[in-house]
A = this chain, B = another copy of it.
Amino acid sequence: MKKGNHTVLNQTFSVPFRYPVYFDENIFDKENTLLADTLKGDKIPKIYVVIDQGVSDAHPDLLDKIHTYASAFSDLFVLATDPLIVPGGEQSKNDQKSFQQILDATSEFGIDRHSFIIGIGGGAVLDMVGFAAAIAHRGIRHIRIPTTVLSQNDSGVGVKNGINAYGKKNYLGTFVPPYAVINDFTFLQTLDDRDWRSGISEAIKVGLIKDATFFAWIASNAKALANREQAPMETLIIKCAEMHLAHIGGKDPFETGSSRPLDFGHWAAHKLEHLTGYQVRHGEAVAIGIALDSTYSYLKDMISQEDLHQIVSVIDTLGFELYVPELSGEMLLKGLEEFREHLGGELTIMLLEELGKGVEVHEMDTELILQAVEKLKMFQLKRQGA
């Protein structure tokens, strides 16, 4: 062993991951065996359930139903203790109280790798529960039951989890696939209009950058979706989740590379959410971000005026705002600079080269961004005038 003449062993291996994403309804009805079948194994596992308070408030019978369901399938699994109810939304990720409560419970009730932790709720709660499950015992099996449009078609079916820290979103977290995802469409019925709508922007996003047919389908179903028709929403969620899963499974599930091609419309959205103290919800901010980057793409002669008007019309028909006063040009340019830093110095932004086809660019024209903001203001004025 000489200096400069070291020995090296190269460790290489591949880890296969597999999980089912189910779409069903009334999953806590005794007649529905999907969840019980998912929990079935050689031994009777202990189950620890965490519920988003927004969900338990909207479904006051949920706790009873879970207890009844557990009694009906007591030969297959057992509740370790009563479900824990945690505040929903970003609060569950900001304040580490719920996160700590879950870790404490794993120790107190002996929830280990032979058990399951089940999260029921919106994306934020699922992220937080998933992170606790990922690190206790180096990973407890975790089942996600997303209850919002956004979590059912996007965040809830993926492999990321996390909590906020140091004032930064998702500062602490891991990439750990869930054991299973069970989307229950029944929960969509009690969403307020903003939450129902919000999740649709991720579907618009994937349609615009990857699948013109899906975007056209959304355009022709925009009124029905705005009217809260259940059937097209279920179709939209399944299609959008399918595309999201394909993207995750495609190239770089744990994001070791720097590029994030699915982030169309997101750079401005992140800044906007932050500027409004999360009063503008993620999906609402993404809708505005999509409108902005589409307008920029038009100003760059990448898509036609007709294309742009169709995009803006879909967003408008669904009931999204197209502009909010916090979105000043100055703030946007600041946000772009922050995004560049976040990416480690080199900017990567997804734009549109046609409907259904995104393209990555590494520079943006400051003047055209400011012009795009002015155009959004006008779209919004027209919208309010209509």
Contacts and interface: CB of A to CB of B under 8 A. Distances in A.
Interface of A: 1, 3-4, 6-26, 29, 31-34, 43, 103-104, 107, 112-114, 131, 134-139, 157, 160, 162, 165-166, 168, 170-177, 185, 234, 238, 241-242, 245, 248-250, 253-255, 258, 342, 344-345
Given A11-B21, A138-B173, A139-B175, 18 more contacts: A3-B24, A3-B29, A6-B22, A6-B24, A8-B23, A9-B20, A11-B17, A12-B17, A12-B18, A15-B17, A15-B253, A103-B172, A107-B165, A107-B171, A113-B258, A135-B135, A135-B174, A138-B162
Contacts of A241: 9
Contacts of A33: 4
Which 3 residue pairs of A and B lie closest in terms of their CB atoms, listed nearest first? A6-B24, A13-B249, A114-B344
Given A172-B136, A174-B135, A23 B7 contact: yes
B138 A103 contact: no
Given A12-B17, A171-B136, A344 B238 contact: no
Contacts of A32: 3-4
Contacts of A345: 43, 114
A165 B103 contact: yes
A347 to B, nearest CB: 14
Given A43-B344, A136-B172, A12 B16 contact: yes
26 contacts: A1-B24, A1-B185, A3-B24, A4-B31, A6-B22, A7-B23, A7-B238, A8-B20, A8-B21, A10-B18, A11-B21, A11-B177, A12-B249, A13-B17, A13-B248, A13-B250, A14-B16, A15-B17, A15-B254, A107-B168, A113-B344, A135-B135, A135-B174, A136-B171, A138-B173, A139-B175
Given A138-B160, A138-B173, A139-B174, A9 B245 contact: yes
Contacts of A165: 103, 107
A33 B3 CA distance: 10
B7 A112 contact: no
Contacts of A104: 166
B172 A174 contact: no
B20 A137 contact: no
B17 A17 contact: no
A327 B9 CA distance: 38
